[in-house]
Structure formats: C-alpha cells, structure tokens
C-alpha cells in the first residue's frame, strides 16, 4: 500500500507526514527533539530505553515515539511534567545500574547519556548504586569494550547485523545480568565474524565501545554515515 | 474421519463401557503420578485378576486429574460414583473386594462434598473421566463432534459469530474477547495464517493448563482446529513448558492419534481443510507467556517482547497473521460449538461468561484443581470448596494472578469473581492460580518474593523493568531487614508507578501489582518495619 | 571470516550427535530449530558447551552470538556440567508458602551446596525450578526425575543420603 499523507499535532504544532513514518522522525523533521537512547536514525527501532515515551490524546498509555507510526489527527505531547519525571527516574536508574562516572570516561563530553542527563537537569541520583564489577575487553587491536559503561541499548548489535551484516554482536543472559557479547562470548579480538569495521563503536551512545588509545573525553563519535548508508541501499530509510 | 464413523465409534465405545461391570479409574496426572499412582494401578489390576474379575467385569484405567490433588493418589469407581483418597497399593485388594458392596470406609471420600458439588465443569468435563491416551475415550464423550459439525454445517463466519455470542474471553489473564480476536485474524490479509496455543503456564502456583493437557489433550487440539477453520489457518503450534514432560508426552500421543484418524493433517474429515499442529518446548522463561516473546521463542530467538502494534493478528509468527489463545480458552471452544453460544452466555456474570478453572494451593485444606462459574465469591471458593484454612489458622489474603496479580484481603472475600472486579481490587484474574495465605505469611515477604521473581524473569530489554524491578527488590529487602525509612516507602511507591506506566510489555507493567496491592491493604505491615518510630 | 559455517561437523564421534542432527533435520535445518536443537543437545549431554553450540550454529546457519544469546537467555539451559545426581527444589508460590526456603537451607547444611552449584566431588547438583505445577502437593522436590510431594526436611535429607549411597 502506498503511504498516505497525514496531518497531526506535536506539542501544539501542526505537522504533515507520511503514515508509515515513526513519530520520533516526524518530530525531528520539525526540529522537535524527543529524548532517546536506544533509537538511532538508520537502524531498526528497538523500543527499550523508554526515553522517547510521549503522551497521545485519547490513549491513557504512554507510547514510545520510535515504535509508534503517525496517524491522522494525532495529538502528541512530548514534554509534560509527568514525562520529564519518568525520563529522569529511568535515566537515574541507568546511572545507578552500572559504573557511569563521567569524569574518568573516554566519552566524557561526547556521551548521549550524559547529554540527556544535563538536558533533564539531573544533578544527583536518588537510587543506590549497584556497581557490579564487570569486565573490560581490550583484546581487539583497535577497539575496547567496557561492560561497565554499557546501557544495553543494542545499537551495536543492530548496526552489526543490519548494516555490516556480520552479526558479531548479540546479548547474552537476561535482566540485569544481560551483557553484550561477540560470537560465543569470547574475547572480541578472537571473534571469527568481526570485520573490524568499527561501526559499533561509532553508534555506541556511551563510553562502552571506544577506540584504543583514546584518553578521557577524547572519544567523539561519527554517526552521520548511518542514514546515508540506509538511503543508498534503497531501503525505506527513516530520512 | 467422517461424522458417520465418529458416531459409530462413540456408540460402540459407550456400549462397551456399559457392558463392563465396574470401572476403576486411577488418576494419572502429574500430581498423583508423583505419588506412585502407576504402582497403584498395577496393584489394582493384579487385585482384580486375583479376585476373579475379567476384562468384561472390571476395567482399571488411568485417567486425568480428578481435582483434589492434595488428597492424592485418587481413585474413582464407576458407575457407583465412589472416590477414594490417599490410596496405597496395599489398599487395592480392599477396593476390588468392595466393588459389589459398600465402599471401603477408611479411604472413602464423600463425593457429595462441596469440593465436588459446588463445581461446574465445562473445561474439565472429561478430566478424570477419560483415558487421555485413548482417542476413542474422547470420541465417546462427544469428542470431535464439534469439529465435524463445524466442517460440515458452518461457515467460518458462523463459527466466529457463535464464539462472539458466547461472550468467551481469553483465559490467559487479560480477558480479551475471543470472538473479536478471531474476527481480526480472519479479516487479516496474508497467508498462511497461524494458530498458536499458549501453554507456557509460567505463573508459579498455577497448574490449570498442565491438568487440562494431561487429562484431556484432544479437547485442546479440537479447539485449535476449529479456530484454524474459523480464521483460515493451516499451521498450528503449541508452545508448552519443558517442565511439563507428561503433558508434552500426552500431547504428542494425541496429535499422532488424531492425525491417523484424519482429525488433523490434510483433508480433515474428508473435506479440503488442512491443519497441522507442531509442539514447541519452552525453556524456562516466564516472559515467554507474553505473546510477542512467545512468538520470538518459537522462531528460535531470545524470548524478548516487542512493541505492539503490529499485533500478532496482523503480523505474528514470521510476519504471518497469527491467532494466539491460551489452553483453557481453546478447551472451551468445543463445548460452545456443541451446546451453542447462548448456553455458554447463560453462565457467569454480565461481562464474564462461562466458568473459570482455578488452582487452589497454599494454606488451604483442599488443594487442587476446581472449575467454578464466573461470579462465585472468593469466600465460597476458599471456605466452601477449599475447606478453609487448616490447623485452626485464619485467612489473611488470597493471591490471584501470580506475579502479575495481587493479594486480596479477607475483608473483600465476598466479591464475586470476574475480570473487572478483581482488577478493581488491584489484582487480576490471571490464568487461575489462587494461593491462600494465613497469618503466618508476612505480606512484605510475599511482595519481595514476587519482586524477586519478576526481577529474575525480566528479559532486560527495557530499562524500567530491568533496573526498576532490581531497585524495588533491594528496597523491599530493607523492609524485610527492618532498616527502611518513610522515604524508602515513598520511593517504593514512585517506582511502582514508574515501572507500571513505562515498561514495554505486560510483565513489567504488572510487576508492581504484588507490591501495590499489599501496600494498599497491608500498609501497616510495611510501616511496622521502619527502623525508627515513624520512619524518619 | 565465517570458517565455522564450512565445518558443519559434530565436535566428536559421539553417537549422541546423531540425535541432535536428526532434531535439526526434522525442522528443515532452519533457524526455528534452534531451541529444539538446544533441548535435544542438553538432554543428550546434560549441558551445553562451545564446540557443540558452534556445530548447531553452523548446521542452522545462525550467527554464533545469536546462538549463545538464546542459549543463555533460557533458564532451562546450562553451560555447566551437572553432577551425577540432580535435586531440583521447586520455588513456586505454593512451595514458597509451604517452606521451600527451609528445604534449601537444610540441603546447604547437609551437603554444603547452594542452588546452581554442584558438590566438589561432582555427585550432586542442586537446582531450583519456578514451578512444576504440582502445587497441590507443595512443597515439591524432584530427585533424579522423581517428583516427591509434601516433602519435609527430614525426608529430603534421607532421600539424598539414599541417592548418594551414604551410609545411615
């Protein structure tokens, strides 16, 4: 079925879009930035971080903007006191879940999570820190994986599967014990399937994946390639 | 098999059964089997032979669940209608000896007990009456009659209309109208379509589906086949827990027998209708009871849920339109077709029709499986049917709905049981587990028990469920250790609200229920654990 | 880079691999056979290990990380060799209410092992299960496949002694 054009309202502004577009993309086209962590333009939606939850008129449930398609007449609010409070709490729990000390992190100043925390005005964490002692894998020639900084957003898993086609990454275990792994949870450097393309490092929102030799705050990431790659492949990109 | 042949088998079976003098039924469901009911059956066969009974005068059969699992192993004698409890192999000669006379007193169980008399059996109508490993037994009990009727006399839309008329709602917990679901899948574009039976009974304390599958597996197959005809599906899957080996074995036998008689497979009952059923084993993940996670698991992946829409009805297994119902829902289908939607709608309450199977367990005299009409009060279930709390203790709360449900205090026991009232009380109907607690149970402990369950069963995909259940579990630990403060209580309530409203799937959204329901009814128990007076 | 895909050979000559190959073949050697293959693998060998998982991944043409991810997602599968005897304590709600924790405590006192552990001599593994659905007989323990209902700490200790062949 060809896509139809619909009109909707986001934060009081009238917007037109195709009905096969996701709310989060439509909002961005109108320069309305909905907070996000697991979503990244050019990859499939995951719906795990719940940062992009929005209120939609007529439904009591909060909907994730990355997995909700726009519909005619939809009225969306992306910022309300309730949403901000939920986003803060979720982000605080994420900070408490593993070790996210910005001052010693390679991604300090270039981290999606840090940026979001500043944006939401988080100045302290109300939850006790769990501080699990997780491994750091530096076996790869060029890259490092620090599980302590991983937020399990699966961007690395998706980019490796969907764009590079190697499917080196996946998630093992479940719940809070989940970890991202390469191949059979072996050291990354020994992975048979890894092509060392580095896309996982570039899409990682935190300091969990970084290039070797980077010191504190030196790891800025390049993600511009992603939407273009999807577009050039002729797939229905979200752009 | 054609309708005519089916009828012949039924008549022949019934005649054969009537010709036998007495029929001794031994429960062969998992509960009684674990109490050595196999050895008991053997002892009964030997005793019958020893006392001169031949196959024409006494038959010993292994049947499905007789219900009162707590008093197992159970034996029933037909046509006399006698039930024996806690039977040992050494009792066998006496039981056989009593076939011609009064029952053996020391093990006799009064079949007029409210436990039996107050039940109304639709789903369990054959349970404990037929041999689940014999197709003929099921056919003699009008089995597959509904399927042949549907195939010869009804259009798919007639079938859906009948199910809609019955008012049947999903028995897996959420209570979505079954007819509506079937209608959506029937209208969905795409082929092939799939029918999935959710037998991943993951709620701890629930064993309704296990009993149905072990006692009357053909009923579920028939319900699935009728559903497949109604929605236009040709492939079916039963996703069943690996922890239920007996149920799996009986399902396999049932599928094989039904295929041999062309009641499943290609050209069912001589028509053009094809429907195959395959079994898929679960592997110990509660979240796989959630339909999108269940489908991921059947596809061979990690059982993580995905956002809906798209709903399985539009895009389910491998992207095909998929109908997912639970075991008990499918088990209701054949009787509705046989006796009419109007008959079914005449049972139960305004918005919850029919009966519900509950698994009674915990601090209750009669533990076991019961089926009662919707609208019966919790008090009748616990005190009349369940025989109340043993050892002179007092009832404190009834837990329904497992880790997604809540604790209902004694003061609300007169509430009629239906989907809406239980939700209003802060619990849910759930799949039917009902755990009775007395004053020795600490509600804070119970809340922490369920939170630990949700925490370890969280798939980890969304942050509120993954991190929120862990934070709540730790907080509840402070209450158990008596080091909590009033601020902890406030944070606990905040987290309940957050996890309920922001989690991706039903597991997370309902995970706070055991905490919020105990907070609602037993708040003083939480406050009594504050480290200091007032918890400041 | 995908060398493992070419060597679609069982890790050893063990005949049990034939059962697993048959399970996969029956489901068309397709991705959907993964969970069934893991079940049949664990049933045959008692636990899963990396060479076996590589073989399954190669046979079904699934990425290694996806196989490992699925194998570790489900409680039922274990990557640790199990003891000669297994004692599974049900920790479902009914068993919890009726004292499953006491049973685990008594096992720990008698044998010194916690759930998920195996005795140092490799004779006994202690496991927990979410629910066997035998709640009417709570508390329930499964010793080497035999379900024992309405069990007490004394009976359990006796039973374990018997299974392990300890005197007295």
Task: Classify residue C158: in a domain, yes or no.
Answer: yes
Among A27, A48, A79, where does a domain finish?
Answer: A79
Burial class, C7, CB count within 10 angstroms (exposed 0-12 / middle 13-18 / buried 19+): exposed
Distance from CA of A188 to the nearest CA of C (A): 11
Q: Which residue of C has its CA nearest to A195?
A: C1
Contact A174 B285 (CB under 8 A): yes
Number of folded domains that form chain A: 2
Q: Are B16 and B10 in contact (CB under 8 A)?
A: no
In a shared domain, residues A130 and A224: yes
Calculate the average pLDDT of chain C: 90
d(CA B532, CA C24): 61
Contact A175 B460 (CB under 8 A): yes
Chain C residues closer than 8 Å to A145 by CB: none
Full-prediction pTM beyond 0.90?
A: yes
The helix (run of H) or strand (run of E) holding residue B526 is helix B523-527
d(CA C24, CA C34): 8
Q: Which residue of C has its CA nearest to B298?
A: C32
Counting as contact any 3 or more CB pairs under 8 A, the partners of B are A, C
Backbone φ and ψ of A146, nearest 5°: -115, 100
Distance from CA of A31 to the nearest CA of C (A): 37
ipTM of this model?
0.94
Contact A175 B455 (CB under 8 A): yes
Residue B458 sits at the chain A interface (C-beta within 8 Å) = yes
In a shared domain, residues B454 and B430: no
Write the pLDDT tens digit of every residue in C13-57.
Answer: 999 999 999 999 999 999 999 999 999 999 999 999 999 999 999
SS3 readout for B371-426: EEECCCEHHHHHHHHCCCCCCCCCEEEEEECHHHCEEEEHHHCCCECCHHHHHHCC
CA–chain centroid gap for A143, Å, is: 20
d(CA A37, CA B510): 24
Q: Which of B467, B468, B489, B499 to mutate to test the interface with A (most CBs of A within 10 A)?
A: B467
Q: Which residues of chain B have pLDDT under 50?
A: none
Q: Are B508 and A53 in contact (CB under 8 A)?
A: no
In a shared domain, residues A52 and A114: no
DSSP for B229-298, please give it. HHHTEEEEEEEE-TT-HHHHHHHHHHHHHHHHTTSSBSSGGGSS--BEEEEEE--S-GGGGSHHHHHHHH
Distance from CA of A174 to the nearest CA of C (A): 6
In a shared domain, residues A70 and A91: no
In a shared domain, residues C89 and C59: no
In a shared domain, residues C89 and C158: yes
Over chain A (239 residues), the average pLDDT of each successive run of 10 is 89 95 95 96 94 96 96 97 98 96 92 96 94 95 97 97 95 97 97 95 96 87 77 54
CATH value at residue A218: 3.30.70.20
Longest dimension (CA), chain A: 53
Select from A50, A94, A127 the Cβ nearest to the Cβ of B502: A50
Domain range enclosing B448: 443-527
The reported pLDDT for the residue numbered A223 is: 80
Task: Classify residue B7: in a domain, yes or no.
Answer: no
Distance from CA of A178 to the nearest CA of B (A): 7
Cβ burial B376-393 (10 Å sphere, 16+ → b, else e): bbbbbbbbbbbbbbeeee
The reported pLDDT for the residue numbered A238 is: 42
Structure tokens belonging to residue A113: 């999570």
In a shared domain, residues B403 and B477: no
pLDDT of C86 above 80 = yes
Distance from CA of B460 to the nearest CA of A (A): 4
d(CA A159, CA A166): 9
Task: Classify residue C79: in a domain, yes or no.
Answer: no
In terms of Cα–Cα distance, which of C133, C106, A196 is closest to B368?
A: C133
Number of folded domains that form chain B: 4
d(CA B123, CA B121): 6
CATH value at residue C152: 3.40.30.10
The reported pLDDT for the residue numbered A235 is: 53
Task: Classify residue C80: in a domain, yes or no.
Answer: no
Domain range enclosing C10: 2-73
CATH value at residue B51: 3.40.30.10
Helix intervals (H) in chain A: 23-29, 81-97, 112-119, 155-158, 199-203, 225-232
d(CA B328, CA B123): 7
Structure tokens belonging to residue C44: 């045959």
Q: Which residues 71-100 of A are in CB contact (within 8 Å) with B? A: 86, 89-90, 93-94, 96-97
In a shared domain, residues B65 and B166: no
Chain B residues closer than 8 Å to C132 by CB: 30, 243
In a shared domain, residues A180 and A226: yes
Contact A171 B503 (CB under 8 A): no
Write the pLDDT tens digit of every residue in B275-304.
Answer: 999 999 999 999 999 999 999 999 999 999
Q: Which residue of C has its CA nearest to B299?
A: C32
In a shared domain, residues B452 and B427: no
Residue B119 sits at the chain A interface (C-beta within 8 Å) = no
The reported pLDDT for the residue numbered C18 is: 96
Chain B residues closer than 8 Å to C76 by CB: 242, 282-284
Contact B467 A176 (CB under 8 A): yes
Contact A171 C64 (CB under 8 A): no
């Amino acid at each position: 079925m060809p896509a139809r054009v619909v009109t909707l309202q986001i934060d009081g502004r009238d917007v037109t879009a195709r009905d096969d577009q996701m709310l989060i993309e439509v909002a961005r086209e109108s320069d309305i930035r909905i907070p996000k962590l697991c979503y990244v333009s050019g990859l499939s939606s995951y719906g795990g971080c719940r940062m992009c939850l929005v209120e939609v008129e007529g439904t009591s449930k909060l909907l994730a903007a990355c997995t909700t398609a726009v519909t005619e007449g939809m009225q969306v609010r992306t910022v309300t006191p309730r949403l901000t409070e939920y986003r803060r709490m979720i982000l605080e729990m994420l900070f408490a879940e593993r070790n996210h000390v910005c001052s010693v992190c390679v991604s300090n100043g270039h981290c999606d999570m840090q940026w979001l925390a500043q944006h939401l005005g988080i100045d302290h964490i109300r939850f006790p820190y769990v501080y699990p002692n997780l491994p750091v894998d530096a076996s790869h020639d060029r890259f490092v994986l620090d599980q302590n900084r991983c937020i399990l957003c699966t961007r690395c898993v998706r980019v490796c599967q969907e764009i590079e086609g190697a499917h080196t990454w996946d998630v093992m275990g479940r719940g809070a014990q989940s970890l991202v792994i390469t191949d059979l949870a072996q050291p990354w450097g020994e992975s048979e399937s890894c092509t060392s393309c580095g896309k996982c490092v570039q899409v990682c929102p935190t300091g969990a994946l970084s290039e070797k030799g980077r010191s504190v705050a030196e790891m800025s990431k390049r993600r511009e390639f992603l939407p273009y790659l999807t577009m050039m492949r002729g797939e229905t990109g979200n752009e | 098999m054609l309708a005519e042949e089916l009828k012949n088998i039924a008549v022949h079976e019934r005649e054969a059964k009537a010709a036998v003098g007495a029929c001794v039924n031994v429960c062969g469901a998992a509960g009684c089997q674990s109490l050595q009911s196999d050895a008991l059956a053997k002892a009964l066969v030997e005793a019958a032979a020893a006392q001169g009974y031949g196959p024409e005068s006494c038959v010993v059969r292994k049947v499905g669940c007789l219900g009162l699992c707590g008093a197992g192993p159970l034996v029933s004698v037909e046509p006399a209608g006698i039930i024996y409890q806690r039977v040992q192999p050494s009792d066998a000669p006496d039981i056989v000896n009593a076939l011609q006379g009064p029952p053996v007193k020391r093990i006799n169980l009064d079949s007029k007990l409210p436990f039996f008399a107050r039940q109304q059996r639709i789903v369990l109508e054959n349970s404990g009456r037929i041999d689940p490993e014999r197709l003929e037994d099921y056919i003699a009990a009008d089995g597959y009659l509904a399927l042949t009727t549907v195939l010869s006399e009804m259009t798919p839309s007639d079938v859906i209309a009948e199910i809609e008329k019955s008012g049947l709602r999903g028995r897996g917990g959420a209570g979505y109208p079954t007819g509506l679901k079937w209608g959506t899948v029937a209208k969905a574009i795409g082929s092939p379509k799939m029918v999935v039976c959710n037998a991943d009974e993951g709620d701890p304390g629930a064993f309704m589906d296990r009993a149905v599958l072990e006692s009357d597996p053909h009923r579920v197959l028939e319900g699935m086949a009728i559903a497949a005809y109604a929605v236009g599906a040709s492939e079916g899957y039963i996703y069943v827990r690996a922890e239920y080996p007996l149920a799996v074995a009986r399902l396999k036998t049932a599928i094989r027998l039904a295929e041999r008689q062309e009641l499943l497979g290609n050209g069912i009952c001589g028509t053009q209708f094809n429907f195959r059923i395959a079994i898929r084993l679960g592997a110990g993940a509660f979240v796989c009871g959630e339909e999108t996670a269940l489908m991921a698991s059947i596809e061979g992946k990690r059982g993580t849920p995905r956002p809906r829409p798209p709903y399985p009805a539009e895009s389910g297994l491998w992207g095909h339109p998929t109908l997912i119902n639970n075991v008990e829902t499918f088990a209701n289908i054949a009787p509705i077709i046989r006796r009419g939607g109007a008959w079914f709608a005449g049972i139960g309450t305004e918005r919850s029709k029919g009966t519900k199977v509950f698994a009674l367990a915990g601090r209750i005299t009669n533990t076991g499986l019961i089926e009662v009409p919707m609208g019966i009060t919790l008090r009748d279930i616990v005190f009349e049917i369940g025989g109340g709390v043993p050892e002179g203790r007092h009832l404190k709360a009834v837990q329904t709905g497992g880790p997604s449900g809540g604790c209902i205090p004694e003061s609300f026991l007169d509430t009629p049981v239906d989907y809406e009232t239980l939700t209003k009380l802060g619990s849910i109907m759930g799949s039917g587990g009902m755990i009775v607690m007395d004053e020795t149970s600490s509600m804070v402990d119970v809340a922490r028990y369920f939170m630990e369950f949700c925490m370890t069963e969280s798939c980890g995909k969304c942050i509120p469920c993954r991190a929120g259940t862990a934070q709540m579990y730790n907080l509840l630990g402070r209450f158990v250790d008596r080091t909590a403060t009033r601020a902890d209580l406030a944070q606990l309530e905040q987290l309940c609200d957050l996890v309920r409203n922001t989690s991706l799937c039903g597991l997370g959204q309902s995970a706070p229920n055991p905490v919020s329901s105990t907070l609602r009814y037993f708040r003083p128990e939480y406050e009594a654990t504050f480290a200091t007076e007032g918890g400041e | 880079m995908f060398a493992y895909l070419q060597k679609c050979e069982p890790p050893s000559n063990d005949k049990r691999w034939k059962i697993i190959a048959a399970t996969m073949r029956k489901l068309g050697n397709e991705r959907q056979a993964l969970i069934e293959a893991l079940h049949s693998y664990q049933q045959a060998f008692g636990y899963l290990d990396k060479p076996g998982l590589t073989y399954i991944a190669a046979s079904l043409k699934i990425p290694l990380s996806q196989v490992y991810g699925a194998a570790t997602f489900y409680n039922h599968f274990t990557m640790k060799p199990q003891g000669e005897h297994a004692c599974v304590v049900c920790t479902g709600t009914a068993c919890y209410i009726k004292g499953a924790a006491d049973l685990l405590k008594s096992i720990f006192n008698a044998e010194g092992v916690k759930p998920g552990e195996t005795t140092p001599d490799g004779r006994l593994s202690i496991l927990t299960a979410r629910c066997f659905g035998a709640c009417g007989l709570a508390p329930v323990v499964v010793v080497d496949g035999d379900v024992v209902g309405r069990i007490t700490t004394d009976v359990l200790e006796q039973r374990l002694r018997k299974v392990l062949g300890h005197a007295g």
